[in-house]
Amino acid sequence: MTGDSAMLVLVDGTVFDGKPFGKVGEAVGETVFYTGVVGYQEVLTDPSYGGTLTTFTYPIIGSYGVNDEDNETPQVHPRGVVIKEYSRTPSNFRSTGTLEDFLVTRGVVGIRGVDTRALVVHLRDHGEMMGMIVSGDVDTDAALAKLKATSSPWASRHVGMGGLEAPAVPKPEGKPKHRLVALSTGIKRSTLTTLARLGCAVKIVPVATTPDKVLKLKAGGLLLDGGPGDPNAAKTLVETVKTLLGRIPILGIGLGSQVLALALGCTVERMKAGHHGVNYSVKRAADDKGEITVQHHSFVVSADVPADVEVTHVNVNDGTVEGVRSTKHPAWSVQFHPSNDDWNRPNRVYTEFLENL
């Protein structure tokens, strides 16, 4: 690690001191916090965190290193990383390198030594907000002025993967049972792996693909999976999905859930403090049963849905909408990221979607 000091400046003027971590430099983004104990490599390579300064709440990060197998996509998506204590020497038989080298190689600015507990309390009390990580001797007032003059990457960033490389698509064993097309809003390796196990052949196409080109692929269903940005800014994508309603079954996940909801006439709003973690309790309206879910989002579908839209899942903790479906068209969505119950039983979100193709 190079340099002796760094700071995290929030747009409301709050400053947290620390030391440089990862690439030494400057990074600006929406400050969010992830509450999982493990999974930092998966989070860093998840497109849902594009444009953020991602704060890891677990106090020691890096203890099991990184490896060549757990990346959700080939790139790191947060603009910056905030941690409390860094474990310099990883201890895990799967480790092929250190977290800091992983960040340096990919040009990601970070800060360590931050009182992340105090930071999370501040964000929960005052809401997620823009922040800036700066290394070295910096004029705090000048940094704050620069931060205030910078627009949110979620407002300027095009929703979806854009020109970024998508993960490799695994092939199902034997003849495919289903053929799906996925708009590259931010699809992850874990999603593709699960779908391959379920016998799905998936073709990923650019997020700007027109409805006619989607239909010409003659797929059995359309997948919108995760991704960064404010869905309200993705007007072209929303119109594409709206045009495809009733012409192809659609499943939206994460950001894809919000895009589908907008296409169905719902509204999507910014949360005060988003859901970023692996332990969110969700209740299914159909049977009143619950499950523990993985979530990565700072926007949410409003509970006031149109008459032809049904809320299918609700967050147990705060009552927010976690899933909707159309009563007119074959279209379903979940705000969380479905994870397998175990190796032999994929999450029912996928299986119920495939049963309706």
pLDDT at 46 over 90: yes
| Residues 237 and 152 occupy one common structural domain | no
| Residues 224 and 342 occupy one common structural domain | yes
Question: Partners of 66 in the beta sheet?
Answer: 97
169 confidence band (pLDDT: 50, 70, 90): very high
pLDDT at 156 over 70: no
| Residues 54 and 145 occupy one common structural domain | yes
pLDDT at 330 over 90: yes
Q: How many domains does the chain have?
A: 2
**163 domain-assigned:** no
> What is the rounded distance in angstroms from the CA atom of residue 113 to the CA atom of residue 194?
37
| Residues 195 and 273 occupy one common structural domain | yes
Containing structural domain, residue 60: 6-156
| Residues 221 and 340 occupy one common structural domain | yes
Could you report the per-residue pLDDT of 244-288, keeping only the tens digit for each?
999 999 999 999 999 999 999 999 999 999 999 999 999 999 999
> What is the rounded distance in angstroms from the CA atom of residue 148 to the CA atom of residue 138?
16
| Residues 221 and 346 occupy one common structural domain | yes
**164 domain-assigned:** no
Which range (2-16, 44-58, 107-121) has the least confidence? 2-16
pLDDT at 18 over 90: yes
Residue range 194-223: average pLDDT? 95
Could you report the per-residue pLDDT of 292-317, keeping only the tens digit for each?
999 999 999 999 999 999 999 999 99
Domain boundary among 106, 121, 156: 156
| Residues 88 and 143 occupy one common structural domain | yes
Q: pTM value?
A: 0.94
120 confidence band (pLDDT: 50, 70, 90): very high
Could you report the per-residue pLDDT of 66-90, keeping only the tens digit for each?
998 999 999 999 999 999 999 999 9
| Residues 59 and 119 occupy one common structural domain | yes
Residue range 27-46: average pLDDT? 97
Whole-number average pLDDT of the chain: 93
Q: What is the 3-state secondary structure (H, E, C) of 203-248?
A: EEECCCCCHHHHHHCCCCEEEEECCCCCHHHCHHHHHHHHHHCCCC
Domain boundary among 156, 187, 216: 156
| Residues 28 and 99 occupy one common structural domain | yes
pLDDT at 1 over 50: no
**332 domain-assigned:** yes
Half-sphere exposure of 206 (CA within 13 A, CB side): 9
